[in-house]
Amino acid sequence: MVTSLKGHTGQVTDIDFSPNGKFLVTCAEDRAVFIWSTKDFASKEHKNMRHNIEFDHASHICWSPDSKAFVINRAAENVLEVYKVTRRTDGWISAVSKAITFPKQFSEEMVGIGVAVSGRYIMSCSAANQLVVWDLKGAVLATVDTCLLHTYRAKVSPCGRFIVASGFAPDVKVWEVVFARTGEFK
């Protein structure tokens, strides 16, 4: 083991490495998001930036492909929020600010969120079999019934071409996300 990152006071609910490999983001039931510098993992001191989620906590978290923002699911409110990360000239983070809150789509808990590597869409999925594809401004591009009786997990493929979901049914559902040459969602 290289290290143990300490800072949260509640159960850690999700973690994600930034695509550029420089940061690890963690969220917990203590209503905090921590961004950790990966280059400090072998050091005694672990540089981090704490950002508090007002009146709620994040249950899921994932970085944007450019490592300049991250998306969370607010657990109690059950909505997606995008947070922008501002960096100093030395590369460390100077601020985290909320950029947008998406409209509420789910009454059941979310079981998966993801951002396409192209940055063209964000996916969220609920335990009640509702999978939503969003544009980056929070508009719904598509809503799909996963037909899994109860969805356990949903992911965006590393290439961003596919969305997969698994659940109570013994199969894994795969959808292809297609955009026209003009950039319009099909």
Q: Which pair of structure tokens corresponds to residue 50?
A: 């704490």
**184 has pLDDT over 90:** no
Domain ranges of the chain: 1-101, 107-186
For residue 104, pLDDT beyond 90: yes
> Is residue 152 pLDDT above 90, yes or no?
yes
pTM over 0.85: yes
The pLDDT, as a whole number, for residue 23 is 97
Distance CA 3, CA 50 (A): 19
What pLDDT score does 127 carry?
97
Sheet holding 79-87, edge to edge: 58-63, 69-74, 79-87, 93-101
pLDDT of residue 54: 94
How is the beta sheet containing 130-134 ordered, strand by strand?
110-115, 122-126, 130-134, 140-145
Residue 181 has pLDDT above 90, yes or no: no
C-alpha span between 88 and 71 (Å, rounded): 21
Question: Is the predicted pLDDT of residue 183 greater than 90, yes or no?
Answer: no
81 close to 101: Cβ distance less than 8 angstroms: yes
149: pLDDT confidence band, cut at 50, 70 and 90? very high
CA 93 to chain centre: 19
* Mean pLDDT on 74-80: 96
Correct CATH for 107-186 of 3.30.420, 1.10.10, 2.40.10, 2.60.120: 2.40.10
**In the predicted model, is pLDDT for residue 182 greater than 90?**
no
57 in Cβ contact with 10 (< 8 Å): yes
What is the pLDDT, as a whole number, of residue 147?
96
Each as own residue / partner, the long-range contacts of residues 31-40 (CB below 8 Å, 24 or more positions apart, any chain) are 31/55, 31/56, 31/57, 32/7, 32/8, 32/57, 33/58, 33/61, 33/70, 33/72, 33/83, 33/96, 34/5, 34/7, 34/8, 35/85, 35/93, 35/96, 36/5, 37/92
Instruction: Kindly state the average pLDDT of the residues 7-28.
Output: 98
- In 3D, which of 42, 92, 39, 102 has the Cα closest to residue 67? 92
Residues 1-28 have a mean pLDDT of 97
pLDDT of 93 above 90: yes
Mean pLDDT rounded to a whole number for the chain: 96
